[in-house]
């Protein structure tokens, strides 16, 4: 336990020293607030510049040389092919920033779907990880300090010849984000109350299920067996029992996608404020996706039209085991 604590503080000190060596303004910086007698660490973002060979550097000094002086082994190269893809896609930088409200993700200075901490969701996370056999050292300590830590990393990649340099943080919403928010507001104004879909599925010991008061036989008669794939196998039912899970919930609304286990809410995937639209706009700039999924580009206008309506709908799916 002592070694784990020493490692934790060594990592914090490493981040502090490196961030002050090569830093830039961090998204959400200055939002950490605490009492005078509480620990607070609120730092600029650490900027890692990746060369075409995938080696990271800070202020033109190799990262490996800097951390070696602190006696901490650290090796963070990325494949050269990844750097080439970033340059070809004009993805100049990616930022990860921790704030009291969540873990922000930004690409080319614009927010994409991120992780939002709400209520006791962070406190429930270590238990959820343990349920699935994922043991994170010092998880309780780390998550208890999250709202007192403001740290972040910016991975910066070579700028393609002829491309304009993009600021590390872009003020204001993108055109795609503004269009999505306008469409969502127009839809909500037209329908008055957000649409709501509540789908409670109750599983039996043999894997069959009811949805609300309707049995699987009644549902099959109504849907021509379209819901048959929802049935679980005995091994899947046994797995839920072995993990001790009696209820698994997934819900969506304008804020994002939330998951709960046995009534305990976990951190939310935040797609609000045009973040999902920013991601879709970003996808169109990645050449490899056009090759891997031909026709994806032609589908994006339709997805952009439907997405604000989907986000505005309150959907709740609860699996009862």
Its pTM stands at 0.80
Q: 231-249 burial by CB neighbour count: b if 16+ within 10 A, else e?
A: ebeeeebeebeeeebeebb
Q: 3-state SS of 196-251? A: EEEEEEEECCCCCEEECCECHHHHHHHHCCCCHHHCCCHHHHHHHHHHCCCEEEEE
Residue 289: closest CA among 124, 128, 88, 146: 88
- pLDDT of res. 2: 43
Q: What is the mean pLDDT of residues 225-247?
A: 85
Q: What is the mean pLDDT of residues 109-117?
A: 92
Task: Name the average pLDDT for the chain.
Answer: 80
Do 197 and 258 fall within a single domain? yes
Q: Which residues contact 163 (CB under 8 A, 6 or more apart)?
A: 90, 92
Max Cα–Cα distance, the chain, nearest Å: 71
Q: Which residues contact 117 (CB under 8 A, 6 or more apart)?
A: 100, 101, 102, 146, 147, 267
Do 256 and 285 fall within a single domain? yes
Sign of CA dihedral 16, 22, 26, 29: positive
Number of domains the chain contains: 2
Do 235 and 115 fall within a single domain? no
Q: Pick from 118, 141, 170: which residue ends a domain?
A: 170
Q: What is the mean pLDDT of residues 139-163?
A: 82
Do 134 and 227 fall within a single domain? no
Is the confidence at residue 200, as pLDDT, over 60? Answer: yes
Do 308 and 243 fall within a single domain? yes
Is the confidence at residue 63, as pLDDT, over 90? Answer: no
304 compared with 64, residue with greater pLDDT? 304
Do 63 and 23 fall within a single domain? yes
Do 139 and 226 fall within a single domain? no
Q: Pick from 120, 141, 170: which residue ends a domain?
A: 170
Between CA 282 and CA 287, with CA 285 as vertex, the angle to 5 degrees is 135
Q: How far apart are CA 301 and CA 304, in angstroms?
A: 5
CA distances from residue 124 to 55, 104, 117 in whole angstroms, order as listed: 37, 20, 11
Is the confidence at residue 265, as pLDDT, over 80? Answer: yes
- pLDDT band per the 50, 70, 90 thresholds, residue 291: low
Do 108 and 218 fall within a single domain? no
Q: How far apart are CA 211 and CA 79, in angstroms?
A: 48
Tell me which of 79-88, 164-173, 197-206 is least confident: 164-173
Domain span at residue 216 reads: 179-320
State the residue for tokens 């055109």.
Answer: 175
Do 238 and 316 fall within a single domain? yes
Do 228 and 85 fall within a single domain? no
Do 213 and 138 fall within a single domain? no
Residue 94: closest CA among 162, 28, 166: 166
Residue 311: closest CA among 267, 265, 274: 274
Q: Which residues contact 162 (CB under 8 A, 6 or more apart)?
A: none
Q: Pick from 120, 150, 170: which residue ends a domain?
A: 170
- Count of alpha carbons within 13 angstroms of residue 177, beta-carbon side: 18
Do 145 and 8 fall within a single domain? yes
Which tens digit of pLDDT belongs to each residue from 11-56? 555 556 555 555 777 887 777 776 667 777 788 888 888 999 998 8
């Amino acid at each position: 336990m002592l070694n784990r604590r020493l490692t934790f503080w060594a990592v914090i000190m490493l981040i502090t020293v490196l961030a002050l060596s090569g830093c830039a303004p961090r998204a959400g910086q200055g939002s950490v607030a605490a009492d005078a007698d509480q620990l607070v660490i609120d730092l600029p973002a650490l900027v890692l510049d990746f060369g075409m060979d995938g080696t990271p550097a800070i202020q033109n000094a190799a990262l490996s040389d800097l951390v070696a002086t602190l006696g901490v082994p650290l090796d963070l190269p990325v494949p050269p092919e990844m750097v080439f893809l970033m340059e070809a896609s004009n993805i100049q930088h990616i930022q990860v920033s921790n704030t009291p409200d969540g873990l922000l993700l930004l690409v080319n200075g614009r927010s994409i779907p991120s992780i939002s901490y709400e209520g006791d969701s962070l406190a429930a996370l270590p238990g959820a990880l343990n349920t699935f056999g994922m043991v994170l050292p010092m998880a309780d300590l780390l998550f208890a300090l999250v709202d007192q830590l403001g740290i972040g990393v910016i991975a910066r990649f070579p700028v393609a010849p002829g491309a304009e340099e993009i600021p590390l943080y872009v003020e204001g919403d993108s055109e795609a984000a503004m269009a999505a928010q306008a469409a969502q507001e127009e839809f909500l104004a037209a329908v008055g109350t957000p649409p709501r879909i509540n789908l409670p599925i109750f599983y039996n010991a043999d894997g069959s299920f009811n949805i609300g008061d309707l049995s699987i036989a009644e549902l099959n008669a109504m849907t021509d067996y379209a819901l048959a794939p929802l049935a679980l196998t005995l091994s899947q039912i046994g797995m839920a029992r072995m993990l001790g899970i009696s209820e698994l919930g997934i819900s969506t609304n304008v804020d994002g996608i939330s998951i709960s286990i046995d009534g305990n809410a976990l951190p939310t995937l935040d797609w609000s404020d045009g973040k999902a639209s920013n991601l879709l706009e970003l996808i169109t700039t990645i050449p490899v996706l056009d090759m891997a999924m031909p026709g994806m580009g032609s589908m994006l206008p339709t997805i952009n039209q439907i997405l604000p309506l989907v986000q505005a709908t309150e959907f709740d799916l609860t699996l009862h085991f």
